[in-house]
Amino acid sequence: MKGKVVDSNGNPVSAKIVYERLPDGKEMGIAQTNPRTGEYEIRLPGGNLYGVRAEADNMISESQNLDLRNISQDQVIDHKDFDLEP
């Protein structure tokens, strides 16, 4: 999964991406965006439902769900972007 984290003006945001398996909430990992571009990329195994959250200082976090229950092989899921606001 890859995407970008930006602010309300479209500027890149240095953020932490936290991803957890649902419904048990087990944390699967944490990634950091590229501070200059806001881009991130994480690898998640297929067969599960995930919650993915973007967090940044002085910003309201945003969460998205990602359903990989029907995915059995590796593939890239693009454009999971987050728009954070103060």
Distance in angstroms (rounded) separating the CA atoms of residues 19 and 7:
20
What pLDDT score was predicted for residue 45? 87
Assess if residue 67 is contained within a domain.
Answer: yes
Per the model's pLDDT, the better-predicted residue between 73 and 66 turns out to be: 66
Q: Tell me which residue range forms the domain holding 59.
A: 2-71
Give the pLDDT band (50/70/90) at residue 71: confident
Assess if residue 21 is contained within a domain.
Answer: yes
What pLDDT score was predicted for residue 39? 97
The overall longest dimension of the chain from CA atoms, in Å, is: 38
User: Is 90 exceeded by the pLDDT of residue 77?
Assistant: no
Q: What are the pLDDT digits (tens) for 15-67?
A: 999 999 999 999 999 999 999 999 999 988 889 999 999 999 999 999 999 99
Distance in angstroms (rounded) separating the CA atoms of residues 27 and 50:
10
Assess if residue 39 is contained within a domain.
Answer: yes
